[in-house]
Amino acid sequence: MRARVRLFTRTRIEGLVIVLLAAGYLWEGHNVPDLYKMPGVPGPTVFPLLLGIVFALAGAWLLLAPDKPDAREAAEGDEKPVGKLRSRLIAHWHTVAMWAVILVYLFVMPDLGFPVATALLLLAFILLLGERRWYVVVGLALGATLVIHLGFALGLNVRLPLGVLTPLLK
């Protein structure tokens, strides 16, 4: 007996959302005014373009990958609750929380600045992924933020917004 292939799975919908976000990043990367671009330096367009390409590839993989139901879907079979948004949100609260954290990050990063907002984003992600040792959570968040910031500042010559740290670092 042949398995039924479903066109609209949660994974494919997530892939489509990621591809659409990637398209937005790529669009915005091409719309950076020329006055911010310096000859011979990668400049501020590198980040949105690289991120857009990575997101587009990841989203395309999710869209085109073979349909593999997760363990819960396989156990449930064809009995899927239709219209039970609240129960689905509760069942997948980690995913919902991560999307919420990303949206909050995008909203507060210009005011808080890249270092503070990115450290808080990574703290939240690491906690949502299940790590509870405070020294691991704080160390990873601060270390990754520092490496990313130095990579952009020194490697790409991109000035990231310092936000609330501006008075301390200038």
More confident residue, 86 or 74: 86
DSSP assignment letter at 32: S
Please write the tens of the pLDDT for every residue from 44-75: 677 777 778 888 888 888 888 776 655 455 55
User: To which H or E segment does residue 154 belong?
Assistant: none
pLDDT at residue 118 is higher than 80:
yes
Task: Compute how many other C-beta atoms are within 10 angstroms of the C-beta atom of residue 1.
Answer: 3
* Rounded Cα distance, 34 and 161, in Å: 19
pLDDT at residue 150 is higher than 70:
yes
Burial of 130: CB neighbours in 10 Å, binned 0-12, 13-18, 19+: exposed
pLDDT at residue 139 is higher than 90:
yes
* Rounded Cα distance, 168 and 164, in Å: 8
Q: State the average pLDDT over residues 81-105.
A: 75
- Using the Cα atoms of residue 60, residue 65, residue 70 and residue 76 in order, give the sign of their dihedral: positive
Q: What's the one-letter identity of residue 133?
A: R
**No. of helices (H) and no. of strands (E), the chain:** 8, 0
Average pLDDT, the chain: 78
Q: Given this model, what pLDDT does residue 33 score?
A: 67
pLDDT at residue 3 is higher than 80:
no
pLDDT at residue 97 is higher than 80:
yes
Q: Given this model, what pLDDT does residue 141 score?
A: 93
Sequence-separated (6 or more) residues with CB below 8 Å from residue 165: 113, 115, 116
